[in-house]
Chains A and B, each alone.
Chain A
């Protein structure tokens, strides 16, 4: 709350100072960190100044007229009401300006659409309300979800500097290399936007779009989903870390090792029996991160779109169906498959958690092997 107050009162202070640095307030488009984004910025500024010039001419004429040609000054109105010459001139001049503007715009657009000869390819898949990144050249894929705690959104915790613009696992790309993005969606249309790269491309379910970037500066770049995609459209940020090629190679190694370790852990887990306490702790964490946005922290849901899990037939009785829904999702609804998104351990724990939280009290302890067998049984 203290944090909230401090920026609120900074508003008059900002006005007085006449400049805005404290909160990083920004008036204009970012020039970005790629050659393309800087060309886009240049186009933006050119057309902006052209528009200002046109506005200046029109409004000057208008205000001169308003000041001079008013009845209170005792003027008599002129009687002219047409002039072919003048009309041709003010039709022709805008046409010329537009042609001058269209040439560089066409050039930049064609450069932006050329995705050939890329060094790295990442498949970006949007779903409600998270991004999935899959490196086609490496054995790496993971989900990237909002990392801002719910408490900050609801005002129970002070808001951090990167409020709503932070994720658990950012996309990592190398600098100085042409990175190609393939984009698609698992459900509705989303739009992947990173202003610093001047990339905004819709992810259409069932189709693949392409874009590319070549980042010059290492750094952390943030963006957001730009196409209304349902309830939590405002809560699916994008974070991209650009690393020097050497650091990127190291990251790839680590990430491949991490993902291999998770797979090994899964195999080990199959032989293991997790107790309910352990599962409830992990399950709650997973639930709050992945489920609570729709089904609500207390399991009451937002019916009819997002059913209550508290006292629900599936979560209290039909254990097999519960596992099936978690693994397969419910096609045609917002309930996605969580088989790829959660580790086996997380998946198992969150099922146990929902079967025992908020008075569901089934006492069921689901084990990893049970979930695993269902996945195998359908040939996953």
Chain B
């Protein structure tokens, strides 16, 4: 990856990148920055995962065995923050950096220096967040949703660092999103019209608009938390005329679109992989684009379904119940289109396809439990229990994370120039598939039976399920070490990958050699 190996490239002469650490610090190359994002996301995935292991270790048995409740709350909080902002979002940004210019026939991202900056502030944000755990009193322990007044009056001073870290993450995301939009709007190759864009590009474009619209809202709400805590404002304090529920409205106005920020690019990835391995064109391309846009628009109208128990007026509750149910329609269209794409195709089952198929099944399960959660009277029973934990881990782990893993397997040959080890990849897939279900499926039962989320200890009737879940968790954690090994092995060598390693693949990224040269499409290709 560090050297240009293709001989036939006219742009070799301006490949004057510095070497060593300077190359990575000062790089403005979309491929280098993409790699940085992906490596960072992988590191955060293991850090956040290690925290999940602490959580599952404590919950393996009833009683307090390993950690005290305060540390347990720090683990759940940091696990959520790191996985959302440190693993899933940077991984998608990494994929966008690597693939979008190559998919639309652009030489690089439109704003390469900003691209460098938006990556390099990210490690510092997480450094600050992680350092906050070593302050006296520990790090943030109010859940990744940081509801006021638990995060204001009743939190410790790590809150200031938490707020600062979230601001930096937000700036990074906004810059990344601006870059994606500017690149896609301005730098498409001649002939690459809107309705020819690969779906990964479309879904990322829509995601980028969501990011630009909601990250400032997150910045606003953390700032209000900061001023409530330190500067005597009362946004969320009834004693000063504020309202703690206002916090939740603002947070979820960010938080719900955020959920789609973490799943729309996944739809794009699956829409690239399924047609490739089914050797058949994507079914309903146009309706896929419209469904993505509808989901994005609806995502601004459903935020209060996270707040059905806060005591909203009944008409507000009804409004949010109906809009939430509506989301099932465009989401259903996507799933049906993928199945129709497979129908009467000629499928093969390489690792990317396996993860994409698992995504479709498991994401659908998560989507269906989402429809159940929309039914407000039933939500009163589900809300804040393990049923919700099961729901969002099905869409985020076996959804978003599986799609990222599928994407990595799919494009690794393009990035490294080597095929990954298919046997190890299949092993990784089957271990992940079995353990992820062992981990998250029993959470539905234990939630319906009445176990609240975010508790370090529980009543005895939840013990058996929790033991299962913990075993599943440890196995899932271990399985990801196989992934790490496959990626390292593939980066270091292996069978030489052709320009187009997948028989049914389509798109400009497969027309450049593998590994992709440091500079691609200096001269725009002509898209017919």
Q: Which residues of B contact A302 (CB under 8 A)?
A: 70, 137
Q: Contacts A29-B381, A302-B70; is A47 near B371 (CB within 8 Å)?
A: yes
Please give me the residue from chain B that is nearest to A78 by CB atom. Answer: B344
Encode contact with A along B143-155: 1 for CB under 8 Å, 0 otherwise.
1000101100110
Q: Contacts A61-B339, A234-B455; is A7 near B460 (CB within 8 Å)?
A: yes
Contact: B245 with A229, CB < 8 Å? Answer: no
Enumerate 24 A-B pairs (CB-CB under 8 Å) in ascending A order.
Answer: A44-B378, A47-B371, A54-B332, A54-B368, A65-B342, A69-B278, A70-B346, A70-B349, A77-B278, A77-B279, A87-B287, A91-B333, A94-B328, A94-B332, A164-B62, A164-B457, A189-B150, A193-B384, A200-B309, A204-B245, A224-B450, A229-B150, A230-B150, A234-B454
With A and B bound together, what is the CA distance between A348 and B91 in angstroms?
A: 59
With A and B bound together, what is the CA distance between A65 and B279 in angstroms?
A: 13
With A and B bound together, what is the CA distance between A101 and B376 in angstroms?
A: 11
Q: Which residues of A contact B341 (CB under 8 A)?
A: 81
With A and B bound together, what is the CA distance between A155 and B147 in angstroms?
A: 32
Contact: B348 with A70, CB < 8 Å? Answer: yes
- The distance from the CB of B62 to the nearest CB of chain A, in whole angstroms, is 6
- The distance from the CB of A24 to the nearest CB of chain B, in whole angstroms, is 5
- The distance from the CB of B461 to the nearest CB of chain A, in whole angstroms, is 5
Q: Contacts A200-B309, A228-B142; is A71 near B346 (CB within 8 Å)?
A: yes
Contact: B384 with A226, CB < 8 Å? Answer: yes
Please give me the residue from chain A that is nearest to B70 by CB atom. Answer: A231
Residues of A in contact with B (beta carbons under 8 Å apart): 4, 7-8, 10-11, 14, 20, 23-30, 39-40, 43-44, 47-48, 51, 54-55, 58-59, 61-62, 65-66, 69-72, 75-83, 86-87, 90-91, 94-95, 98, 101-102, 105-106, 108-110, 112-113, 128, 152-155, 159, 161-165, 183, 187-189, 191, 193, 195, 198-202, 204-207, 209-210, 223-235, 302-305, 332-334
Q: Which residues of A contact B154 (CB under 8 A)?
A: 128, 187-188, 230, 333-334
Q: Contacts A206-B238, A210-B311; is A106 near B384 (CB within 8 Å)?
A: no
B233 at the interface (CB under 8 A from A): no
Please give me the residue from chain A that is nearest to B247 by CB atom. Answer: A189
Please give me the residue from chain B that is nearest to A11 by CB atom. Answer: B464
Residues of B in contact with A (beta carbons under 8 Å apart): 61-65, 69-70, 73, 136-137, 141-143, 147, 149-150, 153-154, 156-157, 237-239, 243-245, 278-287, 309-311, 314, 317-318, 321-322, 325-326, 328-329, 332-333, 335-336, 339-349, 357, 360-361, 364-365, 368-369, 371-372, 375-378, 380-381, 383-385, 445, 448-450, 452-461, 463-465, 467
Q: Which residues of A contact B284 (CB under 8 A)?
A: 81-83, 87
Contact: A303 with B311, CB < 8 Å? Answer: no
Contact: B64 with A25, CB < 8 Å? Answer: no
Which of these, A43, A207, A233, A334, contacts B454 with CB under 8 Å? Answer: A233
With A and B bound together, what is the CA distance between A3 and B194 in angstroms?
A: 66
Q: Contacts A47-B375, A234-B455; is A105 near B321 (CB within 8 Å)?
A: yes
Which of these, B325, B339, B384, contacts A98 with CB under 8 Å? Answer: B325
Which of these, B69, B280, B449, contacts A234 with CB under 8 Å? Answer: B69
Q: Which residues of B contact A229 (CB under 8 A)?
A: 150
Q: Which residues of B contact A162 (CB under 8 A)?
A: 459
Q: Which residues of B contact A193 (CB under 8 A)?
A: 384, 452
3 smallest CB-CB distances across A and B, nearest first, come from A206-B238, A234-B455, A209-B311
Which of these, B385, B449, B458, contacts A27 with CB under 8 Å? Answer: B449
Please give me the residue from chain B that is nearest to A207 by CB atom. Answer: B238
Q: Contacts A11-B464, A161-B460; is A195 near B454 (CB within 8 Å)?
A: no
Contact: B332 with A82, CB < 8 Å? Answer: no
With A and B bound together, what is the CA distance between A207 and B238 in angstroms?
A: 8
Q: When A and B form their complex, what is the total count of cross-chain residue pairs whose Cβ atoms lie within 8 Å?
A: 312
In this complex, the member of B63, B244, B375, B376 whose beta carbon has the largest number of chain A beta carbons within 10 angstroms is B375
- The distance from the CB of B518 to the nearest CB of chain A, in whole angstroms, is 35
Which of these, B65, B149, B317, B449, contacts A188 with CB under 8 Å? Answer: B149
With A and B bound together, what is the CA distance between A211 and B365 in angstroms?
A: 32
Please give me the residue from chain A that is nearest to B373 by CB atom. Answer: A47
With A and B bound together, what is the CA distance between A66 and B458 in angstroms?
A: 42
Contact: A23 with B463, CB < 8 Å? Answer: yes
Please give me the residue from chain A that is nearest to B342 by CB atom. Answer: A65
Which of these, A10, A76, A198, contacts B377 with CB under 8 Å? Answer: A198
- The distance from the CB of A26 to the nearest CB of chain B, in whole angstroms, is 4
Q: Which residues of A contact B281 (CB under 8 A)?
A: 79, 81
Contact: A43 with B375, CB < 8 Å? Answer: yes
Contact: B283 with A82, CB < 8 Å? Answer: yes
With A and B bound together, what is the CA distance between A25 and B464 in angstroms?
A: 8
Contact: A200 with B383, CB < 8 Å? Answer: yes
Q: Which residues of A contact B461 (CB under 8 A)?
A: 23-26
With A and B bound together, what is the CA distance between A58 and B371 in angstroms?
A: 16
Contact: A58 with B335, CB < 8 Å? Answer: yes
- The distance from the CB of A171 to the nearest CB of chain B, in whole angstroms, is 17
- The distance from the CB of A164 to the nearest CB of chain B, in whole angstroms, is 5
With A and B bound together, what is the CA distance between A40 and B279 in angstroms?
A: 46
Contact: B348 with A204, CB < 8 Å? Answer: no
Contact: B244 with A204, CB < 8 Å? Answer: yes
With A and B bound together, what is the CA distance between A332 and B232 in angstroms?
A: 11
With A and B bound together, what is the CA distance between A28 and B465 in angstroms?
A: 13
With A and B bound together, what is the CA distance between A19 and B518 in angstroms?
A: 60
With A and B bound together, what is the CA distance between A261 and B93 in angstroms?
A: 68
Q: Which residues of A contact B143 (CB under 8 A)?
A: 228
Q: Which residues of A contact B282 (CB under 8 A)?
A: 81
Contact: B464 with A58, CB < 8 Å? Answer: no
Please give me the residue from chain B that is nearest to A237 by CB atom. Answer: B459
Which of these, B63, B156, B384, B450, contacts A153 with CB under 8 Å? Answer: B63
Q: Which residues of B contact A191 (CB under 8 A)?
A: 309, 384
With A and B bound together, what is the CA distance between A332 and B347 in angstroms?
A: 63
Q: Which residues of A contact B339 (CB under 8 A)?
A: 58, 61-62, 65
With A and B bound together, what is the CA distance between A25 and B460 in angstroms?
A: 9
- The distance from the CB of B317 to the nearest CB of chain A, in whole angstroms, is 7
Contact: A69 with B63, CB < 8 Å? Answer: no
Q: Which residues of A contact B64 (CB under 8 A)?
A: 153-155
- The distance from the CB of B161 to the nearest CB of chain A, in whole angstroms, is 14
Contact: A189 with B244, CB < 8 Å? Answer: yes
Which of these, B61, B448, B458, contacts A164 with CB under 8 Å? Answer: B458
Please give me the residue from chain A that is nearest to B240 by CB atom. Answer: A206
- The distance from the CB of A179 to the nearest CB of chain B, in whole angstroms, is 17
Contact: B326 with A98, CB < 8 Å? Answer: yes
With A and B bound together, what is the CA distance between A80 and B280 in angstroms?
A: 8
Q: Which residues of B contact A210 (CB under 8 A)?
A: 311
Q: Contacts A28-B449, A55-B365, A189-B147; is A77 near B375 (CB within 8 Å)?
A: no
- The distance from the CB of A128 to the nearest CB of chain B, in whole angstroms, is 8
With A and B bound together, what is the CA distance between A7 and B244 in angstroms?
A: 42
With A and B bound together, what is the CA distance between A79 and B449 in angstroms?
A: 48
With A and B bound together, what is the CA distance between A161 and B333 in angstroms?
A: 48
